[in-house]
Structure 1
Amino acid sequence: MSCQTTIKSDGEDLFNGKDLRGWHVDVPDMDRDADVKSPFLVRDSKLVSMGKPPGHLITDHSYKNYRLEVEYRFAGEPGNCGVLVHASTPRALYKMFPKSLEVQMMHENAGDFWCIVEDITVPDMVARRGPKEEWGITEGKKRRILNLTDGSEKPLGEWNSMIIECLDNAIKVWVNGDLVNYGYDCTVASGQIAVQAEGSEVEFRKIRLTPITALSDDL
């Protein structure tokens, strides 16, 4: 079980550019077959999610009230990945996804929210999530909440900057400087952070955490 840790006042790099210290892998296929290799590795000072087998790389510690800066790119084919915040119970959805709120990184969909056994509210909820009677946080329910913009992502192969600001029960997301999503009344306000292996190779060159209290108000 993770414990909540205090973020250094000047921030800290969750990925050190050398190894996966501070993280652990949760890949169901690795439980079933000892010969299956982890989809997460370090290559040329970058954290790489190879996409397969599916699973998650999860921080050992939990965090609250922070600004998470991620720089990523799909170096080859466009595809799917995501950053999970406020993660807790592993394999809570489809025996794969930890209980969390996902900030989508899927090509041309960066900034969508996905509810994974946790929930969040956004403005214009029906327009962005669908009919209210179909909302939910478990299998078969409408868990996707569309982002606010199109065209915020860089061309394929270029580096994208994503900022996720988690403060109390609210989450704001920027992609390359554009505010692409904002939600409130989250059912959770702290937890682990995770990145996905979800079918596509993705490179990360920066994953940095800064406490909210150390930030200025003008982002």
Structure 2
Amino acid sequence: MIKKILWATAVLVTMQSTSAAPLFNGRNFDGWELQTTPATTMDQVFSVLPQGVIASTGQPGGFLATTKSYANFKLHVEWRWSGKPGNGGVLLHISDGPMDRVWPLSLQVQTKHGSAGDLLPMAGAAFAEPLTSAPGAEPRIKGKIAADSELAIGQWNVADIVARDGTVEVSINGVVQNRVTAVKPAAGRIGFQLEGAPYELRNIELVEQP
């Protein structure tokens, strides 16, 4: 009987630790904060549409970020351009530290049209693999490793991101597009950039890993 109880407890703990949890509650922006230049309010930049879709004006420049930090996780994000496609990104491991213009210390997963899956170490962030951008060029970029897998304009794209012990792997619409190791910082908040183009988000889900 004791063995059965222990086994059932282990199964329950495993299920709890691997179940996906929405980062957005579908109603409001509790658990999130906005930083822009110039400063503005959340309701001027983001709105909640039916089915929990988040619509962003994409401006002014800045980012939306969770108030909680994460280290080891699987992140699922779906996005699409609601107007003319442009620039944007998912920010990982947002940490206290230097700012690059309005961008925080973080690792950016690029969602820019035509470049989805590129990785950018922002404001002093780093990883072990060499950059593909020219020496001294800004922004610093490690380009995607496969052919462009972004879907047609207006369709929902999917980014699946796995971060574990300083290693980050990125898949765009099921295609592995990048992988880096020894990422610094290796933990922090999660966010979304505002770079001028309106976009929509949905099904933002996170599974924390032990």
Q: TM class, shorter-chain normalised?
A: 0.7 to 0.9
1:169 aligns to what?
166
Name the CA shift for 1:142/1:22 in 2 (closer, same or farther; >3 Å).
Answer: closer
Q: Structure 1: where are the runs of 5+ without partners?
A: 1-7, 135-139, 214-219
Q: Compute the RMSD of aligned alpha carbons.
A: 2.0
Equivalent AA in structure 2 for residue 75 of structure 1: S
In the TM superposition, residue 141 of structure 1 has moved relative to its aligned partner by 4.5
TM-score, reference length from structure 1: 0.81
Question: Displaced runs of 4+ in structure 1, greater than 6 A?
Answer: none
Equivalent AA in structure 2 for residue 194 of structure 1: G
What are the equivalent positions in structure 2 for 1:174-213 lying under 5 Å apart?
174-213=171-210
2:60 aligns to what?
53
1:112 aligns to what?
118
Name the CA shift for 1:186/1:91 in 2 (closer, same or farther; >3 Å).
Answer: closer
1:217 aligns to what?
none
Equivalent AA in structure 2 for residue 192 of structure 1: R
Q: Is 2:40 the counterpart of 1:43?
A: no
Query: For 2:153, which of 144, 152, 156 is the aligned residue?
Result: 156
Q: Structure 2: where are the runs of 5+ without partners?
A: 1-15
Equivalent AA in structure 2 for residue 155 of structure 1: A
Between the aligned partners of 1:90 and 1:17, the Cα distance in structure 2 is 30
Where 2:38 maps in the other structure, the secondary structure is: helix
Name the CA shift for 1:204/1:177 in 2 (closer, same or farther; >3 Å).
Answer: same
Between the aligned partners of 1:37 and 1:210, the Cα distance in structure 2 is 28
Equivalent AA in structure 2 for residue 86 of structure 1: H
Matched-pair contact (CA < 8 Å) for 1:49–1:196:
no
What are the equivalent positions in structure 2 for 1:20-39 lying under 5 Å apart?
20-30=29-39, 38-39=44-45
Matched-pair contact (CA < 8 Å) for 2:62–2:193:
yes
2:93 aligns to what?
86
1:116-135 CA-to-partner distances (Å, cap 9, x unmatched) read 1201133xx35x2334xx3x
Matched-pair contact (CA < 8 Å) for 1:162–1:173:
yes
Equivalent AA in structure 2 for residue 193 of structure 1: I
1:130-177 CA-to-partner distances (Å, cap 9, x unmatched) read 34xx3xxxxx64511111122311100000110111001110000010
Q: Is 2:118 the counterpart of 1:129?
A: no
Name the CA shift for 1:12/1:90 in 2 (closer, same or farther; >3 Å).
Answer: farther
1:49-89 CA-to-partner distances (Å, cap 9, x unmatched) read 21111111110100010000001101221111100000012
What are the equivalent positions in structure 2 for 1:98-109 lying under 5 Å apart?
98-109=104-115
Equivalent AA in structure 2 for residue 130 of structure 1: A
In the TM superposition, residue 90 of structure 1 has moved relative to its aligned partner by 6.6
Between the aligned partners of 1:11 and 1:151, the Cα distance in structure 2 is 28
Matched-pair contact (CA < 8 Å) for 2:95–2:185:
no
TM-score, reference length from structure 2: 0.85
2:75 aligns to what?
68
Residues paired across the two proteins, number? 192
In the TM superposition, residue 181 of structure 1 has moved relative to its aligned partner by 0.3
Equivalent AA in structure 2 for residue 145 of structure 1: K
2:144 aligns to what?
147
Bigger fraction of residues in helix = 2
Matched-pair contact (CA < 8 Å) for 2:159–2:170:
yes
